[in-house]
Structure 1
Amino acid sequence: MDTNVRPEILTHLRRDKKLAVLIDNCPIAIHKEPIRVFDDLIRSIVSQQLSTTAAATIYGRFVQSLDSGKPIPPQIFAKSVEELRSYGLSYQKAGYIHNVAHHFSDNNLHDTDWHRRTDDEIIEELTKIKGVGKWTVEMILMFSLYREDVLPLDDLIIRNNMIALYGVTSVKKVLIAELTDIAENWRPYRTIACRYLWAAKDSNYLIGASTM
């Protein structure tokens, strides 16, 4: 039972009968934590293409090396790429972490009230950083800033589960347009709908066979 998803959201999303099946079979839990955009960007870079366990180990080593016990730009500046690599980071990821720290420092983003910026403004701002792509920022919007109407169609789990759930057969640009159109019915709660699509994968729920 989804006790922490607001009833009005569930009522709205259940209007989509196919999505309603996921809501009934793939429960989700939404846990809100303090907003830490900088920290979460760093963690996201560390985690790229790694298992959850490996990413946690490397991130733990990195954070333990900081006097503050958490990522802040000045302490990251003080570490060379070679030192960052000694914690298990690749040369490329070490450079990306420096890029994030410099961008936040140069643009005073630590003092930003992110709630005053639109999703598009945040995507535009953070994708200026080399090593930070649109998908990464969409994850920040969804899981760090708790924006409720994000549709990350670059996410393969979301895309593939939508294809299976709705029997979509188109490809490339037509596919993206069709998936975007399907998700219009979920507004203004596309983030929550996507959480159910992820939950279907996590719970091994067989979408194609169970929603016909």
Structure 2
Amino acid sequence: MTDPAIIAHLSREPRLAPIVKKHTLKVRPDHGGDVYFGLIRSITYQQLSGRAAGTIFSRFLDIFPDGYPHPERLLEFSVADLRAVGMSRPKAGYLHNVAGFWLEHQLINEDWSRYDDREIIDLLTQIKGVGQWTVEMVLMFVLHRPDLLPLDDLVVRRNLISLFDLHHLKGKQLIQAMIAAAEPWRPYRSYASRYLWEMEATVL
């Protein structure tokens, strides 16, 4: 259940208030705060329907004896092995990149509370195949960071433009206008973004 204080805060913004009143945010798994697992799952789910991605991810986890894709074990599987469970060739490479990065930077059991949002984004987007949107999803759903505004997300962008009638703007002007429009939602822009997804019943 969403904290009533968050609902009250977001309801003060007149354009968002009807959406907050109409929709209830779904409880989503946070994988016990496991950033590595969250990244692996997010990469798997990219550009796939929820059902198809879920099937592939389940098959992927099944190849590990304990059902967990430990970095060192993941690197033992070839791209061909990962493709055999349904991963595309690029995604198989990205999964290897994440596992290798985790081992190289000794991030197993990392205390992510030591980092702010920007530091985590800057660190993890060094991994080839991991973009800002992917890290933002992990920040929001795995680490429960409350104030992300994922403007690279098509649904968030589309509904911000619609709510605030920003169709006439392009490029940097549009970005600046969207950031300004969402300013009253601080410090709960992650929750506001989730309400924008609920408008279209988006599954992440």
Q: Give the TM-score normalised by structure 2.
A: 0.94
Shift of 1:84: 1.0
Q: Which of 35, 38, 46 does residue 37 from structure 1 map onto?
A: 35
Residue 199 of structure 2 aligns to a residue whose secondary structure is: helix
What residue is the counterpart of 1:176 in the other structure?
Answer: 175
| Partners of 1:32 and 1:146 within 8 A in 2 | no
What residue is the counterpart of 1:187 in the other structure?
Answer: 186
What residue is the counterpart of 2:23 in the other structure?
Answer: 26
Cα deviation per residue 1:19-41 (whole Å; 9 max; x = unaligned)? 10111112213446411111111
When the two structures are aligned, how many residues end up with a matched partner? 200
Shift of 1:15: 1.6
What residue is the counterpart of 1:8 in the other structure?
Answer: 5
Shift of 1:198: 0.6
Cα deviation per residue 1:68-108 (whole Å; 9 max; x = unaligned)? 21111111011111111111111111111000000001111
CA distance in 1, matches of 2:200, 2:127: 31
Amino acid at match of 2:18: V
Shift of 1:111: 2.2
Gaps of 5+ in 1: 204-212
Residue 109 of structure 1 aligns to a residue whose secondary structure is: coil
Cα deviation per residue 1:176-209 (whole Å; 9 max; x = unaligned)? 1000001111110000111111111118xxxxxx
CA distance in 2, matches of 1:123, 1:116: 13
Amino acid at match of 2:44: V
Amino acid at match of 1:64: D
Cα deviation per residue 1:108-136 (whole Å; 9 max; x = unaligned)? 11121111210001001100000000000
Amino acid at match of 1:91: R
CA distance in 2, matches of 1:177, 1:56: 36
CA distance in 2, matches of 1:190, 1:101: 30
CA distance in 1, matches of 2:8, 2:41: 34
Amino acid at match of 1:198: W
Larger radius of gyration: 1
Residue 9 of structure 1 aligns to a residue whose secondary structure is: helix
What residue is the counterpart of 1:202 in the other structure?
Answer: 201
Over the matched positions of the two proteins, sequence identity in percent amounts to: 46
| Partners of 1:151 and 1:191 within 8 A in 2 | yes
Q: How does 1:60-139 map to 2 (within 5 A)?
A: 60-139=58-137
Q: Give the TM-score normalised by structure 1.
A: 0.91
Cα RMSD over matched residues?
A: 1.3
